[in-house]
Amino acid sequence: MTDIEAIRRRLANTTTPGPWDLGVTSTVYMDGRSAFTLRTKDKPGIRIGLTATREDAVFIAHARQDIEDLLAVIEHITIISPDDLGWDD
């Protein structure tokens, strides 16, 4: 089983605070692709990552907030067993 508290600690203690945003660098690879930067919205000059595809950059830029949202949903989930429902085997 996943250690939810370990995920919370990593999110709180080891990641750059969000929200994150993405931008395009002036770097162009030999095959014509651009590099995409990940940065914080409040400090756009600080890069927190670099990807070669826009899709990866968009996914990563949303990851921190998505994880926070998923953890909030997990807090509200109650596992119900058949015993709780009064079902017989």
Q: What are the tens digits of pLDDT across the range 7-55?
A: 889 888 877 777 888 776 666 667 766 677 777 777 766 666 667 677 8
E-assigned strands of 16-78? 20-28, 34-40, 47-51
Does domain 4-79 bear CATH number 3.10.450? Answer: no
Query: Does residue 72 or residue 22 have the better pLDDT?
Result: 72
Query: What number of other Cβ atoms are within 10 A of residue 51's Cβ?
Result: 17
Is residue 40 within 8 Å of residue 16, measured between CB atoms? Answer: yes
Q: How is the chain split into domains, by residue range? A: 4-79
